[in-house]
Amino acid sequence: MIRARLTIAATLLGAGLAATAFAQTPAAPPMTSVLAGKKFTPPIKGDAQVDFIATPTKREGQTLVTKIQVKNMSAAPIARLKIAETWYDKEGNAIPGGDAVINGLLQPGEVQTLEIKTPVNLKMTASKMQFTHANGPVNKPHKVTKFDGGADAKPAAKAAPKKK
């Protein structure tokens, strides 16, 4: 009997304390958007457009270093642009290469430099680069000789033979 009275008293006391605690809690401030008044363009999904300039690969000790400048030619930012370089021997067998990543967003028109480091293998003869990003591929990256102002960068082409 005493246990039942103590249980009921404890329950009433706990409910009374909880009611006073909730009654005294001030109202939370209204929720406001973090991006209110700011322009936000979501990253591109699917195929992205990229121009790039690749310098010749140089050997530094036991490492091959390839420096690549990339420019976003898409209308939206590119998230986590990645370039993977695969090397091949004379027979066409793949040799593991290196990769480089831009952490974050590459904004439209922005130029950044990536550096791919690959351990030297004496069987390496040719390489191929594959461009991807967090939300899809870069199917046709355009190799250019220099970045002009905007979207009018000229693709790299072989020099035409001179006429006599």
153 pLDDT above the threshold of 70: no
Query: What is the mean pLDDT of the segment spanning 3-14?
Result: 76
pTM: 0.66
Longest Cα–Cα distance of the chain, Å, equals 119
- pLDDT of 155 > 70? The answer is no
Residue 11 within any structural domain of the chain: no
Question: From CA 162, how far away is CA 76, in angstroms rounded?
Answer: 41
68 in a structural domain: yes
Q: Which domain holds residue 119?
A: 50-143
Q: What is the CATH number of the domain that holds 95?
A: 2.60.40.10
Residue 102's identity, in one-letter code, is I
Measured distance CA(117)–CA(114) in Å, rounded: 10
Q: Is residue 90 part of a domain?
A: yes
22 falls within a domain:
no
Residue 131: which H helix or E strand, with range? Answer: strand 126-133
Query: What is the number of structural domains in the chain?
Result: 1
Strands 126-133, 82-88: pairing is: antiparallel
Residues 109, 75: Cα–Cα separation, whole Å = 9
Interval 80-138: pLDDT, tens? 999 999 999 999 899 888 999 999 899 999 999 999 999 988 888 888 999 999 988 88
Say if 31 falls within a structural domain. Answer: no
